[in-house]
Structure 1
């Protein structure tokens, strides 16, 4: 048995089990080992087979015998029966609906058995006990002698595993018993370097797996959990550190005169910026002066003024001139070596908002900010294309055709474009895109930012295929020889082995065919003539072709892009990526053509006569700013946003009103309704938030009677606010219906908006001054704070009423925290402590397990993992000297959904 073997190679699985394991993302023995127990149960008190009391849970040490499956006569149920015996006597044991268990359980040697005693004192039995084989000599000696206390302590816990329909916790328990019996742990290599483990006193991989699945005591289990939490966060930090290194190795627009422009912009606004805004603006302008692209997160509480920071820095960019290119394609340079700029034209800024409504609001804001500048501003969403200023209506925006707008964006006539995801469609191209601002809940990596600079802009850029018209098929004969070796190996071994197995086999094939090669050779990686690290490929063949091997279920864009980036830092022209993890061996060729001055990524299609495509010319990557109004705990931001620098807006502009928050009991609901009526009678508007869209099925709902948005809107119209206009907004509505509902509320046509938390993302309706949140205990503090922020944009005193459906102490404590403070950062930390990061931020979005999310509460662990990751990447950006760690990082990168 090998860690990378498919589970079904060693276990007979029925269709339901295959489906369940797929649902749990468990495909290999390694996955099974990393499927950790969710909790542990005490095995029970020690006992003797001759002195059992019905109803008690006991642990016995002895032996099993005469196990035999049969079918019960009446019920036709499968039952496996037998006997357990120790030095005091014997007891009957049985397992229901587990006919296979007789073949699993040892009928020779010593076992530990735990279960609940059934039957009577005279005729006891134990049904469905847990059994664990013990090493020879574990049987206590002597008549009626109980196991020693140390033995009981050593084996006093049983793991309980997360289940899915088709596989139970018991299935995992017995499956892992077989895995450990196969000595698979001996073939495991620890991804955490030994010096790192020793520095933080972490147990090694094999010991940790045993402590998690076959626990001796709670202390060992906790040490193992700490180790695996560190491993996961360490791999994630390494991924982020590599992304940061990749970002820093890219070229960008160096804007050296940005400060003066930003200062002139701030002089035009009628209020002074806060100190926090000044710091954030200074951070961003300093980044603009670097030759590599900025990657920064702007994190600010509701109403802290993020838009002003974005506007001031965007103003500096649109006032800068694009670089001057010569006919040769090279940039013109000044006498001091700096890049020369054009005398006319502007750099471009793209601002992406999460919704069409917000995009429209920001478009209007930027018109107000930049109306005195001789530049064009555009709006691009799925439905709307607008340009300012209009040639027909002076001082206004005008609707234009999509084709015309895209043409102006491509030739650089549009300096500032605001939009939604429409900005990253293939049809959108830019001439000098220097700055990308992404607002709320969107995370772009280096590749997505680079995609915005390509003629065919897309979220996952396709590999660029280019025919070698000058040289023919590059190293054709040698390439075919390597490919034939790979086919021979794959036909003999098939998929499912570890990379090292295929590496050893390929080495043997090279020897057999007299192909010259080198292994474990370190190739310097250079950037602008400076060595920044080393790259250690699997093979260098005849000093011409770099060969990398993978054993993955599929190759993604990340693996090919990574190899491309490695190749760019070397003097070699061709790399081959061979993947043995698929039913047929797959090959990707990466060609770096330095003669023509461009980089080309060639897929295996060119070996089959694929058609040439447009080359991906090396371009300047735009500076990138991500903005969020959701305060993020420090440990979470250090992990998930580890590749970004962070600027905090931790103070509100002077004069910003504070929301008055109160918890309202069910018996006092009329007080909240009267407050709403008072605000509406003064011409203002209200939100009423419900945690569900429709009423739940009463046959399935036996817990909290959560109010539905639909039913509540009808009830309020009929019984409470019949004189007012009530609108409805929820996530199940079509986009056009949502936009229409929000537009009617923003225009004042609707006075009350009954909605789910879909309104959490910031929409500016200054006339809304009161919000009621039903079932408030069902939301997290951070989410409640965001919802409360919807009424903080008014100049009038805003109100927030929290209407919980239960009176539990824990829920009341959380809600009282919201009453006491308006500081979103304090609430985020409190929410992390109370509910966990997985509940708050959706662990699947980041590819982090529950164990990893637990670790986010441990500040010391996060900092240690980050420091170790940065130390390694500084000396070995490709982790070539740590191949096992590199594999672990690649798995972490593949599991992460952040991009």
Structure 2
């Protein structure tokens, strides 16, 4: 049924509701409040606290009084009492209300408490006469709104839609599952998420609706993954004996974690199913060499490999690393980025198509239509969170079901990774190579800047280099760049005037960025002032100091990524966080960074502290949008949903049993809305 035919809606309100993405009765039922106002707790006048909103039972004990302190401004006062004392109901510029009250009227009121001298006032209260209470004595929902739609209108619409449609809603969670997890049924859950009878019922309703949404999502992702695994015939790579020799020839020993992850990749490559694997590893854990081993295997088997990185700096760095590792073999590597000349680009594309290039590294220029491979066997995406699902898919479509590796240095708790990368198998490199010195991290206030600058100078005199990251101004990249330029000029003209300095920000042309990075790499610069463009993948072993201004404005995971730019050489490295935030959360975040360099622990804390909000944009990951559940605050519910989803898939891989009939429909609806049709066998 179209929403305009719901009582209290009509064509005009229907168009406003559509702005909130409400098109159907089901959309309305699952349009959950953003907050609640608890008007169920009553106090006496004597118990009231100034500034709080509260509910009271009072009696009108005197005639109305209107004061006019100035032109066009009036104050209406209604004297009231209860068993504990006396007070006043107060309204501004609402003289018409005076005729609504008579001495002796019993009222239920809810409003903000104020005190003028000795007089207790309830300011601009809502009120109801004793009897059938609609607005007070309850927990009231507060909905997300759009222009021209009030919360009271939404409450009326929800009241009507629940009254007329709730009885038609089918329960789709199996009885045994609900009983085992002590979940409310669907009708009670929907009623209590909108109009809770008490706090406990609200929490139970929210838990049930979050669970059903996360279970539905996880089941859909498992089904997609199982389909990909069973249908996508991949390349069956042969065993390559020379890999052991190649590993032996490396100037370092692989960690146990690297060996384990490469073994998983090797087994995938040697099976006839297409590999789709996420390799997660903290900053500096050695993901690149694992990718090189996979590329070496592909090359030895007669296939081409491609690696896509989000920036030219990172692509160039990968190209240089890969070329160095494979220099004693006859492997042809090329770099394809926007800044190379058209003539050179044409030569590379021709060689690639004819099979004369074995490994190509580049930015998203690699997924353009004119890039064609002769025999693509392995597609690798680095720093996956910088790319959307579509870009990842476009890369793998350059070949016939090539094996796919997705790498990220953004550690995500495994539970969350199962959702964000639900179509991928997950490998984690959870160990740093031996000999890497711990980065000493200090959080200081602005009063320490002079000492920080002196410390930076001393390190530079000893032959080191430093990064200085300027404040992040979220509202505007332009403002952030202005802040970087201002900081750079101040430091260059005064504190570090005898040193060589460079400035790097996102609006510079790629060529300009590369020149500055090269100058820093080659030690032509002592200090690099930068915005967060250096967050990803710049490797300068001689730089051992990272100073971050306004550290409180960055997410924990981002601070950890920035810190990972130092500590790459033999020298003791330092990260100094200049923190201007005095609140508890800012102090807690700085404390966590000083205590640990474990990216996974840090990302879990980041989720906990940031709560709802964009830790990771789910939309670019191509997963259906969640209406009730929150991937960050509902981590415990997510774990239970994943456990139950695995059990269901194990018991009935295609959910053919009649007890899953309605749940199957729910899964199909959810994925259809996000543009994916799920077809069960």
TM-score, reference length from structure 2: 0.81
Q: Which residue is equivalent to 2:293? A: 312
Please say which of residues 260-269 and 274-283 is displaced more in the overlay. 260-269
Q: Which residue is equivalent to 1:5? A: 3
Q: Which residue is equivalent to 2:139? A: 157
Q: Deviations over 1:789-812 (max 9, x none)?
A: 001212211111111103334322
Alpha-carbon distance in structure 1 between the residues aligned to 2:213 and 2:299: 42
Aligned pairs for 1:456-495 within 5 A: none
Please report how far the alpha carbon of residue 732 of structure 1 lies from its aligned counterpart in structure 2 after TM superposition: 4.5
Q: Which residue is equivalent to 2:77? A: none
The yes-or-no answer on 1:628 pairing with 2:408 is yes
| 1:289–1:892 distance in 2 versus 1, CA, 3 Å | farther
Aligned pairs for 1:275-674 within 5 A: 275-320=256-301, 346-384=302-340, 401-442=344-385, 451-452=394-395, 454=397, 620-674=400-454
CA RMSD of aligned residues (A): 4.6
Alpha-carbon distance in structure 1 between the residues aligned to 2:516 and 2:6: 52
Q: Deviations over 1:229-248 (max 9, x none)?
A: 11221122123212212321
Please report how far the alpha carbon of residue 211 of structure 1 lies from its aligned counterpart in structure 2 after TM superposition: 0.8
Question: In structure 1, the residue corresponding to 2:384 is in which secondary structure?
Answer: coil
Q: Which residue is equivalent to 1:234? A: 215
Q: Which residue is equivalent to 2:203? A: 222
Question: In structure 2, the residue corresponding to 1:874 is in which secondary structure?
Answer: coil
| 1:750–1:706 distance in 2 versus 1, CA, 3 Å | closer
Unaligned runs of 5+ in 2: 60-70, 75-87, 97-106
Q: Which residue is equivalent to 1:773? A: 548
Aligned pairs for 1:126-137 within 5 A: 127=124, 129=126
Alpha-carbon distance in structure 2 between the residues aligned to 1:726 and 1:832: 36
Question: In structure 1, the residue corresponding to 2:241 is in which secondary structure?
Answer: helix
Question: In structure 2, the residue corresponding to 1:31 is in which secondary structure?
Answer: helix
| 1:352–1:48 distance in 2 versus 1, CA, 3 Å | closer
Contact 1:693 / 1:756 at 8 angstroms: preserved in 2?
A: no
Alpha-carbon distance in structure 2 between the residues aligned to 1:452 and 1:40: 46
Contact 2:173 / 2:212 at 8 angstroms: preserved in 1?
A: yes
| 1:711–1:415 distance in 2 versus 1, CA, 3 Å | same
Please report how far the alpha carbon of residue 852 of structure 1 lies from its aligned counterpart in structure 2 after TM superposition: 3.8
Alpha-carbon distance in structure 2 between the residues aligned to 1:836 and 1:118: 33
| 1:53–1:831 distance in 2 versus 1, CA, 3 Å | closer
Pick the aligned partner of 2:597 from 817, 822, 841: 822
Pick the aligned partner of 1:271 from 252, 255, 262: 252
Please report how far the alpha carbon of residue 198 of structure 1 lies from its aligned counterpart in structure 2 after TM superposition: 3.3
Contact 1:44 / 1:59 at 8 angstroms: preserved in 2?
A: no
Please report how far the alpha carbon of residue 187 of structure 1 lies from its aligned counterpart in structure 2 after TM superposition: 2.9
Q: Which residue is equivalent to 1:595? A: none
Alpha-carbon distance in structure 1 between the residues aligned to 2:661 and 2:306: 37
| 1:731–1:797 distance in 2 versus 1, CA, 3 Å | same
| 1:316–1:124 distance in 2 versus 1, CA, 3 Å | closer
Larger helix proportion, structure 1 or 2? 2
Alpha-carbon distance in structure 1 between the residues aligned to 2:420 and 2:347: 39
Q: Deviations over 1:640-694 (max 9, x none)?
A: 2232222111111111222111122322222211111122223332111122359
Pick the aligned partner of 2:571 from 796, 804, 815: 796
Question: In structure 2, the residue corresponding to 1:841 is in which secondary structure?
Answer: coil
Please report how far the alpha carbon of residue 696 of structure 1 lies from its aligned counterpart in structure 2 after TM superposition: 9.2
Please report how far the alpha carbon of residue 353 of structure 1 lies from its aligned counterpart in structure 2 after TM superposition: 0.9
| 1:113–1:801 distance in 2 versus 1, CA, 3 Å | same
Q: Deviations over 1:41-76 (max 9, x none)?
A: 221554899xx99997325699xxxxxxxxxxx979
| 1:267–1:813 distance in 2 versus 1, CA, 3 Å | same
Q: Which residue is equivalent to 1:500? A: none
Please say which of residues 659-668 and 158-167 is displaced more in the overlay. 158-167
Question: In structure 1, the residue corresponding to 2:632 is in which secondary structure?
Answer: helix
Q: Which residue is equivalent to 1:716? A: 491
Q: Deviations over 1:520-547 (max 9, x none)?
A: xxxxxxxxxxxxxxxxxxxxxxxxxxxx
Q: Which residue is equivalent to 1:469? A: none
Please say which of residues 746-755 and 772-781 is displaced more in the overlay. 746-755
| 1:437–1:869 distance in 2 versus 1, CA, 3 Å | farther
Please report how far the alpha carbon of residue 625 of structure 1 lies from its aligned counterpart in structure 2 after TM superposition: 0.9
Please report how far the alpha carbon of residue 729 of structure 1 lies from its aligned counterpart in structure 2 after TM superposition: 2.6
| 1:267–1:214 distance in 2 versus 1, CA, 3 Å | same
Pick the aligned partner of 1:886 from 660, 667, 676: 667
Q: Which residue is equivalent to 1:748? A: 523
Please report how far the alpha carbon of residue 263 of structure 1 lies from its aligned counterpart in structure 2 after TM superposition: 1.4
Question: In structure 1, the residue corresponding to 2:358 is in which secondary structure?
Answer: strand
Alpha-carbon distance in structure 1 between the residues aligned to 2:389 and 2:130: 52
Please report how far the alpha carbon of residue 112 of structure 1 lies from its aligned counterpart in structure 2 after TM superposition: 8.1
Please report how far the alpha carbon of residue 719 of structure 1 lies from its aligned counterpart in structure 2 after TM superposition: 2.7
Q: Deviations over 1:146-190 (max 9, x none)?
A: xxxxx99xx53222334455545444334323333x512223334
Please report how far the alpha carbon of residue 259 of structure 1 lies from its aligned counterpart in structure 2 after TM superposition: 4.8
Alpha-carbon distance in structure 1 between the residues aligned to 2:525 and 2:146: 46
| 1:674–1:620 distance in 2 versus 1, CA, 3 Å | same
The yes-or-no answer on 1:187 pairing with 2:183 is no
Pick the aligned partner of 2:458 from 658, 666, 678: 678
Contact 1:6 / 1:27 at 8 angstroms: preserved in 2?
A: no
| 1:122–1:415 distance in 2 versus 1, CA, 3 Å | closer
Please report how far the alpha carbon of residue 309 of structure 1 lies from its aligned counterpart in structure 2 after TM superposition: 0.5
| 1:123–1:247 distance in 2 versus 1, CA, 3 Å | closer
Alpha-carbon distance in structure 2 between the residues aligned to 1:130 and 1:404: 79
Alpha-carbon distance in structure 2 between the residues aligned to 1:824 and 1:32: 40
Contact 1:769 / 1:792 at 8 angstroms: preserved in 2?
A: yes
Contact 1:833 / 1:857 at 8 angstroms: preserved in 2?
A: no
Alpha-carbon distance in structure 2 between the residues aligned to 1:622 and 1:132: 72
Q: Deviations over 1:357-390 (max 9, x none)?
A: 11111112221222333332221122327xxxxx
Q: Which residue is equivalent to 2:580? A: 805
Please report how far the alpha carbon of residue 782 of structure 1 lies from its aligned counterpart in structure 2 after TM superposition: 1.7
Question: In structure 2, the residue corresponding to 1:713 is in which secondary structure?
Answer: helix
Question: In structure 2, the residue corresponding to 1:851 is in which secondary structure?
Answer: coil
Q: Which residue is equivalent to 2:239? A: 258
The yes-or-no answer on 1:864 pairing with 2:643 is yes
Pick the aligned partner of 2:54 from 49, 54, 57: 57
Please report how far the alpha carbon of residue 420 of structure 1 lies from its aligned counterpart in structure 2 after TM superposition: 1.1
| 1:363–1:117 distance in 2 versus 1, CA, 3 Å | closer
Alpha-carbon distance in structure 2 between the residues aligned to 1:207 and 1:853: 25
| 1:122–1:183 distance in 2 versus 1, CA, 3 Å | farther
Please report how far the alpha carbon of residue 217 of structure 1 lies from its aligned counterpart in structure 2 after TM superposition: 0.8
Question: In structure 2, the residue corresponding to 1:648 is in which secondary structure?
Answer: strand
Contact 1:245 / 1:877 at 8 angstroms: preserved in 2?
A: no
Contact 1:288 / 1:623 at 8 angstroms: preserved in 2?
A: yes
Aligned pairs for 1:51-90 within 5 A: 57-58=54-55
Please report how far the alpha carbon of residue 218 of structure 1 lies from its aligned counterpart in structure 2 after TM superposition: 0.8
The yes-or-no answer on 1:34 pairing with 2:30 is yes
Unaligned runs of 5+ in 1: 63-73, 78-90, 100-110, 140-150, 321-345, 386-398, 458-618
Question: In structure 2, the residue corresponding to 1:651 is in which secondary structure?
Answer: coil
Question: In structure 2, the residue corresponding to 1:310 is in which secondary structure?
Answer: helix
TM-score, reference length from structure 1: 0.63
| 1:10–1:756 distance in 2 versus 1, CA, 3 Å | farther
Contact 1:118 / 1:127 at 8 angstroms: preserved in 2?
A: no
